[in-house]
Amino acid sequence: MFRRPHQCRQLGGEFHHFLRLTTARPCLTQDNGFVSSAGYVHEEETHLIEQIRAKARELLESGRVSCVIGYEAATRGGTRPAFIYDPDGVDRLVWNRECYANLTTFLHDKKKPARRGEEVPNVAIMTKPCDSRAINLLLSEGQISRDKVYIIGLACGGMMAEGNLQAPCLRCNVRIPVLYDTLIGDPPDIDVTDDFEDLAELEGMSAEERLQFWLREFDRCIRCYACRQACPGCYCNVCEFDRDDSLWIGMQIELPQKYFFHTFRAMHLAGRCVECNECERVCPMDIPLSLLNRKLVKEVSELLGHRGGMTTDPVPFVTILADGEVSLI
């Protein structure tokens, strides 16, 4: 009755022999409880991380929060998201010029209790200025409640890639978070204006040239949905693109579907995009998604005077239902 696959067999002896020959040693990292060497840290920023760790420790020890979401050193340089539950774990936290990830997307995981019957957890989160706009977005859309999130705001001089400031950081004029509970660091004295220069080349193209530009970019897309999953504004329980009845789009991983996916997602983020650039950062194929989203940022900004997440005002074109619930048109 219970048919086992007849191919059941263990790894061959050859493999074990092979293993014995190796000089296998475990590498010690955060994940197995050992602390690895810290990532790349600017000298002037070392005192800031001590402030961050002290605040994190205080929040955990006092019971104000059960988890601190922050950055820790990654395995091969750079940083990665870290979730600290134990006050003694705060020494894992780092703050440097490679803290790219927008951590606010993980707040969606903290909207519900970890176990049935428990309370919604209180969390603290290390928040860069650009990422802080996502918190406003989530507040304006009723996704999180302000008292559940303690914002460790970080003044930011920009993130570096290969020795240079990243392109979005060069035009950024939001240098301290738009909201926070505590602010770490002094606002850097940087005066730039965002004149949407990055869009100039695309706007100079004819419609046909633009189409060809995007088709060539989307050709590389593999529909892995990393852009959608990393985006704090993409949190639908069941995305239109995941619906089994596929009302909007076929499931093919082919150019028409990829083109539709990206343009549809950009439309859904119009007025909501907080310009954190996560979608572009996580894209394994380097599709310049920020151009798509920033074009809509510009349009909404010029037409309606709204910039996603700068305040807790809802996007101009949402419907406020009678019971206060917010619904996108």
Name which of 82 and 300 has its Cβ closer to other proteins.
Answer: 82
Query: CB of residue 251 vs other proteins: minimum separation in angstroms?
Result: 5
Q: How far is the CB of 143 from other proteins (least distance, A)?
A: 17
Measured from the CB atom, is 78 or 153 closer to other proteins? 78
Radius of gyration of the chain (CA): 23
Q: Which is nearer to other proteins, 28 or 303 (CB)?
A: 28
Backbone angles phi, psi at 199, to 5 degrees: -90, -10
**Could you tell me the smallest distance in angstroms from the CB atom of residue 139 to other proteins?**
22
Closer CB to other proteins, 27 or 200, in the complex: 27
Chain residues in the site for other proteins (CB under 8 A) = 1-5, 7-11, 15-16, 18-19, 22-29, 31-32, 74-76, 78, 80-83, 101, 105-106, 109, 216-217, 219-220, 222-226, 228-230, 238, 242-246, 250-254, 281-282, 284-286
Least gap, CB of 161 to other proteins (angstroms): 14
Scanning the structure block, which residue is given the tokens 């602010």? 183
3-state secondary structure 223-291: CCCHHHHHCCCCCCCCCHHHCCCCCCCCCCCCHHHHHHHHHHHHHHCCCCCCCCCHHHHHCCCCCCHHH
* 178 vs 274 by CB, closer to other proteins: 274
Residue whose CB is less far from other proteins, 211 or 222: 222
Which is nearer to other proteins, 28 or 304 (by Cβ)? Answer: 28
79-84 and 123-127: which strand pairing? unpaired
Least Cβ distance, residue 324 to other proteins (angstroms) = 27
Min separation Cβ 47 and other proteins, Å: 26
- Rounded Cα distance, 232 and 136, in Å: 11
Minimum Å gap between C-beta 265 and other proteins is 13
Q: Which is nearer to other proteins, 178 or 291 (CB)?
A: 291
Question: Please, which residue, 180 or 218, has the CB nearer to other proteins?
Answer: 218
Token pair, residue 22, equals: 């190796």
